[in-house]
A and B are shown apart, each in its own frame.
Chain A
Amino acid sequence: MASTAAVPFWRAAGMTYITYSNICANLVRNCLKEPFKAEALNREKVHFSLSKWAGGKPEKPILRSDTPGV
């Protein structure tokens, strides 16, 4: 029994729900008034360090300090 429910446009374009939800949240955060906007962007900062492994040893790590929505 094939499901005939219409897929949302973002899923038809290959996007997952999480991506869609995060984009919506970022758009809302970008439209906030000033003290709230700074708080929100501060709260959503992510920092991560990425290192590729070669021959059983980690190579030099890349540090990424992304602000969201980039």
Chain B
Amino acid sequence: MFRQASRLLSRSVSAAASSRSTTNRAFSTEVPSTIDSTFVESWKKVAPNMDPPQTPSSFMKPRPSTASSIPTKLTVNFVLPYASELSGKEVDMVIIPATTGQMGVLPGHVPTIAELKPGIMSVHEGTDIKKYFVSSGFAFLHANSVADIIAVEAVPLENIDASQVQKGLAEFTQKLASATTDLEKAEAQIGVEVHSAMNAALSG
């Protein structure tokens, strides 16, 4: 068992030495206390003259602290690839179209990552409700009542042309019936889903 020890110890010493010379990493004694103390103690018993190895979490910045009481407002960041729709806006509630259904997000929501399906996202601020049709994306709800919602395309409902939606729905339903390969079927199915969602959004 100890035949390998000298090889392993010298390997980690040279790695530590080279990393210290090439990059200015904090010494392991300076990192925040996300280190497992039992591991550090058993390391010190085996190799007392070497610093314990660093773990990925020691390079991370400390996570923002969670307030002890639930904040009254939800901070929403809603971004698209070409624009930042809402940035740090304080609202009462957002309802997001998650794949698991419409999800209402209030301040103090449990941290969640939700994949979005094509549907309506509504931002509630007092009596003000702003609705967007989101094509797809993700919503990251953090413990500190910050919601990051990212979408590829999000349009206000007034900008959608109902007749084109009907046309598209008919076209893709027909494509779905006549599709042969798996990929064609998938594309037609996506078309049907997106157009049905837009239809429901316009009429609902």
A in complex with B: yes
Residues of chain A whose beta carbon lies under 8 Å from any beta carbon of chain B: 9-10, 12-15, 20-25, 27-34, 36-37, 40, 43
B108 at the interface (CB under 8 A from A): no
Q: How many angstroms from the CA of A29 to the CA of B195 in the assembled complex?
A: 11
Given A13-B182, A28-B118, A31-B165, answer yes or no on A36-B194 (Cβ-Cβ < 8 Å). no
Interfacial residues, chain B to chain A (CB-CB below 8 A): 82, 118, 133, 135-137, 152-153, 155, 158-161, 164-165, 168, 182-183, 185-187, 189-191, 194-195, 198
Chain B, Cβ-Cβ closest to A28: B135
Contact of B194 among A13, A27, A37 (CB under 8 A): A27
CB-based contact A21/B195 at 8 Å: no
Q: Specify which of A15, A21, A30, A40 lies most central, judged by the most chain B CB atoms within 10 Å of its CB.
A: A21
| Cβ distance A67 to chain B, nearest Cβ, rounded Å | 16
**Besides A12-B186, A25-B135, A32-B159, 6 other CB < 8 A contacts?**
A13-B185, A20-B190, A23-B190, A24-B194, A28-B118, A40-B153
Residues in B neighbouring A27, C-beta threshold 8 A:
135, 168, 190-191, 194-195
* Chain B interface SS verdict (over half): helix
Measured CA separation A46–B127 after assembly (Å):
41
Q: Which residues of A contact B182 (CB under 8 A)?
A: 12-14
Residues of A within 8 A of B168 (CB): 27, 30-31
Interface-central residue, A13, A22, A31, by most chain B CB under 10 Å: A31
Which chain B residue shows the least CB distance to A40?
B153
A59 and B133 CA atoms in complex are apart in Å by 45
Q: Is the CB of A24 within 8 A of B190?
A: yes
Can you give 22 A-B contacts (C-beta < 8 A)?
A: A13-B182, A14-B183, A20-B190, A21-B137, A21-B152, A22-B152, A23-B187, A23-B191, A24-B135, A24-B190, A25-B153, A27-B190, A28-B155, A28-B160, A28-B194, A31-B160, A31-B198, A32-B159, A33-B159, A33-B160, A36-B155, A40-B153
Task: Provide the bound-state CA to CA distance between A14 and B50, in Å.
Answer: 49
Q: Which residues of B contact A12 (CB under 8 A)?
A: 182, 186
Known: A33-B160, A33-B161. A28 touches B186 (CB 8 A): no
Q: Does B164 lie within 8 Å of A31, measured CB to CB?
A: yes
Q: Which residue of A lies closest to B187 (CB)?
A: A23
Cβ of B48 to closest chain A Cβ, rounded Å? 38
